[in-house]
Copies of this chain bind each other. A is one copy, B any other.
Amino acid sequence: MNIGEIAKRAGVSRSTVSYALSGKRPVSEDTRRRIQQVVDELGYRPSASARALANGRTSTIGLVFPPAGNHYTGMQLDFIGSVVEAAAAYDYDVLLSPSGVDSDRSFQRLLGERRVDGAILMEIRLADDRVDHLADLGFPSVAIGRTGDPEGGWWVGLDHTALVAACVHHLADLGHRKVAFVNRPEQLLHAGYESAHRGLDGFTKAAAERGLTVETYCCGDDAASGQACLEQILHDDPATTALVTLNEAALGGLYRGLSEAGRHVPRDFSVTGVVAGRWAETVTPQLTAADVPAAEMGRLAVELLVERLDHPDVAPRHHLLVPPISLRASTGPANSTSSDGSRPASGSLPG
């Protein structure tokens, strides 16, 4: 059922059918109706491949994220979901590409074979050859995250430095003096993942500013690693009374470690960090944290990309988000005795 078939049945030429459907040239009301009727009867829809070949646009955007390998986090899930939904609203499909680096076969397919009009990149590294490569090519893309040199780029990012610093200040304000930092896995830190680096920076600086005693850890993206990491923390310094984490997937393990060590949260130990809100609420007590607005970020990334696709020469834009810390129930004053089990009030701190 191709356009020629429609044309024949409607008694017009193929080009007239095309114009009738696209509206790019006027067609008499009469023939337009006749064509539409044939189209409806046969349930005709133009072939995406043929259309893409003819006008050079695939109406597809690529979503590039590292291969699962080990584990996906809930945050990534929220990104994917919101990107797909936002893209659908603009009539774009989303093609998934599991690529961590520029040289991946899957990444080459996306670009080299021109399968997509533009791309959204996740899990950005400070030095990211994918971002550099796309920038050199002038290929329309938007990063979810910032490289080390984000100027003049298209991205939507989270200010991990400020967010983690806010967590530290929150803990310091509560009187904590010995605080641990639980980062993403060591391998990701070494690879230069921006959240791991900027988060660590924010932690170190804010802790120094407040004169805290700190230790930093890398932790695998799963519950077992979280539990092991917490044991290590208490082993290294049993007087530690709080931690800040970026590691969503390890959160359950950290909680378990605390519970097995007999430390009650938040009476004996405070936990906070940067985590997608939906996941912060699944643990008990609910996590006081900077909620990653993953859905919003995905939506913003699509909006930027669509704008870039529609107006190829518009100047680069970005969004740097600094969500406030949501006060839930996992942090409390340090040095409180077991008799002082009072809950902090719920609410929201300006970010």
Which A residues contact B (CB, under 8 angstroms)?
43, 45-53, 58, 60, 63, 67-68, 71-72, 74, 76-78, 80-82, 84-85, 88, 93-98, 105-106, 108-110, 112-115, 222-224, 249, 251-253, 255-256, 259, 278, 281-284, 286, 295
Least CB separation from A76: chain B residue? B77
Residues of B within 8 A of A113 (CB): 45-48, 51
- CB contact between A93 and one of B48, B88, B115, B252 (< 8 Å): that residue: B115
Residues of B within 8 A of A50 (CB): 53
- CB <8 Å contact, A282 and B93: no
- CB <8 Å contact, B282 and A251: yes
Least CB separation from A1: chain B residue? B112
- CB contact between A85 and one of B74, B98, B253 (< 8 Å): that residue: B98
- CB <8 Å contact, B77 and A72: yes
Interface centre among A110, A278, A282 (most CB of B within 10 A): A282
6 A-B residue pairs with Cβ-Cβ distance under 8 Å, sorted by A, are: A48-B114, A49-B114, A49-B115, A88-B106, A223-B282, A256-B284
Tell me the dominant secondary structure on chain A's binding face: helix
Interface centre among A60, A105, A249, A259 (most CB of B within 10 A): A60
Residues of B within 8 A of A67 (CB): 85, 88
- CB <8 Å contact, B43 and A112: yes
Residues of B within 8 A of A115 (CB): 48-49, 60, 93
Please tell me how many copies of the chain the complex holds: 2
Residues of B within 8 A of A76 (CB): 77
- CB <8 Å contact, B281 and A224: yes
- Closest chain B CB from A102 CB (angstroms): 13
- CB <8 Å contact, B95 and A82: no
- State A76–B222 Cα separation when bound (angstroms): 17
- CB <8 Å contact, B85 and A68: yes
Residues of B within 8 A of A95 (CB): 60, 93-96
Residues of B within 8 A of A278 (CB): 71, 222
Residues of B within 8 A of A81 (CB): 68, 72
- State A58–B82 Cα separation when bound (angstroms): 25
- State A252–B224 Cα separation when bound (angstroms): 17
- State A6–B282 Cα separation when bound (angstroms): 57
Least CB separation from A227: chain B residue? B284
- CB <8 Å contact, B108 and A45: yes
Residues of B within 8 A of A77 (CB): 72, 74, 76-77, 80
- State A252–B275 Cα separation when bound (angstroms): 16
The verdict on A253 contacting B224 (CB below 8 Å), with A52-B49, A78-B72, A93-B97 known, is: no
- State A281–B71 Cα separation when bound (angstroms): 13
- State A88–B71 Cα separation when bound (angstroms): 17
Q: Which 9 A-B pairs have the closest CB atoms?
A: A252-B282, A45-B112, A68-B81, A49-B52, A48-B113, A256-B284, A77-B77, A49-B53, A223-B282
Residues of B within 8 A of A43 (CB): 112
Residues of B within 8 A of A47 (CB): 53, 113-114
- CB contact between A253 and one of B45, B105, B106, B282 (< 8 Å): that residue: B282
Interface centre among A58, A88, A96, A251 (most CB of B within 10 A): A96
- CB contact between A223 and one of B110, B114, B281 (< 8 Å): that residue: B281
Least CB separation from A80: chain B residue? B80
